[in-house]
Amino acid sequence: MTDRDADGSPPLSLREYDRRDADAVWQLHELALRDAGTDPADVPGTDDLRDVETAYLDVGGAFLVGTVPAAVAGEAVPRVRDGALVAMGGFVPAAAGHDDERTVAGAAELHRMRVAPSCQRRGYGRRLLRALETAAGRAGFDPVLATTARRQAAAVEFYADEGYSVAGESTEGDYELVHFEKELG
């Protein structure tokens, strides 16, 4: 392994969530939302991050974390046992998702896609997304769904750039939501 990816970024190592990651996952969640102009306390339904095993793994989903060497990540990035936590996200079967989101037969629903603000624009989110799509496909899910707030313009652009089509819009509290869908097969 080299100490830099081809674009000069520190290499991203993706792995399955481990319960020892719990505090760092919550910290990254809050850090990324604040950077996007969203108060984490305002976002409904984030209890899933307090118990990743039950909310993701026990229902047939997955949750991945992406790390880089702590020495190259910067001070603000949460630490885990094997480096700095710079990316995270998961999926659940759509039928096990949030009540306010769409249910599409056979679909996986992405949740909590986050990249540390100081580490964005390095391809980490794309690598994480591709790994989650691969895991969802191997588990027999198709299509993949994603929902994000319209105010998170970078996320809206990200999903569109990755081949996701807008499947609808809705409002939840003060949030205008954009619903995306992508066929894997």
Greater model confidence, 134 or 99:
134
Whether 42 shows a pLDDT value over 90: the answer reads no
Per-residue pLDDT at 2: 39
Per the prediction, the chain carries an average pLDDT of 90
What is the signed CA dihedral for 23, 29, 34, 36, rounded to 10 degrees? 160
- Per residue in 115-143, pLDDT (tens digit) is 999 999 899 999 999 999 999 999 999 99
Domain residue extents for the chain: 13-182
Greater model confidence, 180 or 98:
180
Contacts of 134 (CB under 8 A, 6+ apart): none
State the DSSP code for 55. Answer: I
Whether 1 shows a pLDDT value over 50: the answer reads no
Backbone angles phi, psi at 169, to 5 degrees: -140, 155
Per-residue pLDDT at 101: 60
Place of tokens 């020892």: 20
Kindly report each contact of residues 67-71 with a partner whose C-beta sits within 8 Å and lies 24 or more positions away, as own/partner.
67/12, 67/13, 67/15, 68/10, 68/11, 68/12, 68/13, 68/119, 69/3, 69/10
What is the signed CA dihedral for 62, 102, 151, 181, rounded to 10 degrees? 70
Lowest mean pLDDT among 55-64, 70-79, 87-96: 70-79
Per-residue pLDDT at 36: 86
Q: Is 113 helix (H, G, I), strand (E, B) or coil?
A: strand
The topology (CATH level 3) of 13-182 is: Aminopeptidase (3.40.630)
Distance CA 115, CA 103 (A): 26
